[in-house]
Amino acid sequence: MLDLAGTTLDADDRELLRHPAVGGVILFTRNFESPEQLTQLNSSIHALREPHLLIGVDQEGGRVQRFRQGFTRLPPAGRFGQLYATDPVRARQACESVAWLMAAELRSVGVDFSFAPVLDLDRGISQVIGDRALGTKVQMIGDLATVWTEGVRQAGMAAVGKHFPGHGGVSVDSHAELPSDMRRLVDLEMEDLVPFRRLIDQGLEAIMPAHVLYPNIDPRPAGFSPVWLKDILRERLGFQGVIFSDDLNMGAASAAGDYPQRARAAAAAGCDMLLICNNRPAAIEIVGAFEEHRDPAANLRLLRMHGRKHIERLRLHEQPEWRRAVHQVAQFEALKTLDLGLDDPTDPETVG
């Protein structure tokens, strides 16, 4: 899964996207001018292949929202947790409604899925996670993530839980360097893994592992670790969905070697789809290295990520669900002015 430089496909893009080792495209703010332009871009991507290439985006809300003009500005996930602390029922209703809104708006322009929800526990340690997390308590995150996934499914979208097994216990930003979490597996099982286990039991479609090292469990970062992805995630937790690698261009991923080595290590560990962003030469290297790679089981799992229930954008505002969701967003704005930070340098144009 790779990125594009602009708002339309050029000849080089089309040639690369037709390569059999390419399975999808991740979009960023630079790929967006308007909903109309985005719809045309996505249509041109989908027209290249059958079954069509997957199209994903980070549209979590708050400071991680790639598409803005013409889309509803979504509150950060942490706002739901704040509301949950005083009114759990209302928080769940708002979370489900806003998740539906996010997904419906993306489906109306042809995006298949968003890399959300964040299932990390906000421990007040990780600035890169912070209010991207749904809350500070395990029960809170599990409850809110459950209704979040229900909301996106109602709009025809699969959910992607991240960052397995939990990024909230480290202060280092994995976009820049490799964080190390010294906790034992039993400690993670008591807290950080609980929301993942709960959503897996409810049929979570996809998971993205963290570029974080847990040396007391395995000497390899989670996204490159068969212990984490095969033994714990697949076998112990019974996860049957898609495993997306986090961006192989991130600083933390360099622990696995050069770009083809990173890709091979992630695939050998159990990742079904490998993300390489903001580095076209590296993407070409990886695609070349995977010329002969075939994984029928991964391809079957990835079929679940295709979007359903396309709603015409011009008719979206007629939906009663849309009016309810926009009302929920307006209430959050009334309670506290949204500090979206959409151009915040702490949120680089990378997945994760």
* Separation between Cα atoms, residue 275 and residue 25, nearest integer Å: 9
Mean pLDDT of 12-23: 96
Q: Which residue among 175, 181, 272, 347 is the active-site one?
A: 175
Side-chain half-sphere CA neighbours of 338 within 13 A: 23
Q: Give residue 250's pLDDT.
A: 81
Under the banding of pLDDT at 50, 70 and 90, the label for residue 312 is confident
Q: Based on the residue annotation, tell me whether 175 is a catalytic residue of this protein.
A: yes
Nearest 5°: phi and psi at 213? -95, 135
Both structure tokens of 279: 């580095």
Q: Give residue 352's pLDDT.
A: 66
Q: Give residue 26's pLDDT.
A: 98
> Using one digit for the tens of pLDDT, what is the confidence trace for 55-73?
999 999 999 999 999 999 9
C-alpha pair distances (Å), 29 with each of 6, 68, 192, 333:
9, 8, 31, 23
H-type alpha helices, 202-257: 226
Q: Which residue among 3, 13, 246, 347 is the active-site one?
A: 246
> Beta strands of the chain (E only): which ranges?
24-27, 54-57, 59-61, 64-65, 113-114, 160-164, 206-209, 242-243
What percent of the chain clears pLDDT 90, i.e. is strictly above it?
Answer: 78
Q: Based on the residue annotation, tell me whether 218 is a catalytic residue of this protein.
A: no
